[in-house]
Amino acid sequence: MTRLAAILDALLPGDGAFPPASGLGLAEAMAAHPRFAPAAECVAAAAEGVETLATEAREARLREIETADPAGFGAFVVAAYSLYYTHPEALAAVERETGYKAGPPQPGGYALAPFDAALLAGPRGRAKRWRDAP
């Protein structure tokens, strides 16, 4: 496993229906992504040797790096989540676990019950609440 893949698995280890980052080829996708590759390179450079560490030690080392550079590491985490949660397999996992429809929101949209104007019975009966102005 490459260093970047090991780091990404520490972030997104997988659980239940959710695959680990390495199961989605996230390291390769991030390294090739023009917006996200720089953040990946920075964190990978700071985490030299992390791929050889055991799980707990790896996480501890990454937390040290995060503490030293919260903005840079934060950008890396956002990049990782961005690729993970738009991957079809991760979205399928979300669908299996929550019932959320994994496809794009359009053109289907969602059915929702119309607004029930009876809900306004209370507010409608209240006194005027805005101030007159000179």
Contact set with another protein (CB under 8 A): 10-16, 18, 35, 59, 74, 77-78, 80-86, 88, 90-91, 94, 97-100, 103-115, 117, 119-120, 122-124, 126-134
Q: Is the Cβ of residue 1 or residue 120 nearer to another protein in the bound state?
A: 120
Partner residues linked to 15 by β-bridges = 18
Q: Does residue 87 contact residue 24 with C-beta atoms inside 8 Å?
A: yes
Q: Based on CB atoms, which residue is closest to another protein, 44 or 90?
A: 90
Q: How far is the CB of 21 from another protein (least distance, A)?
A: 10
Q: In whole angstroms, what is the distance from residue 99 CA to residue 101 CA?
A: 6
Radius of gyration of the chain (CA): 23
Identify the CA nearest to 103 among candidates 111, 112, 91, 93.
91
Q: Give least dist CB 1 to another protein, A.
A: 17
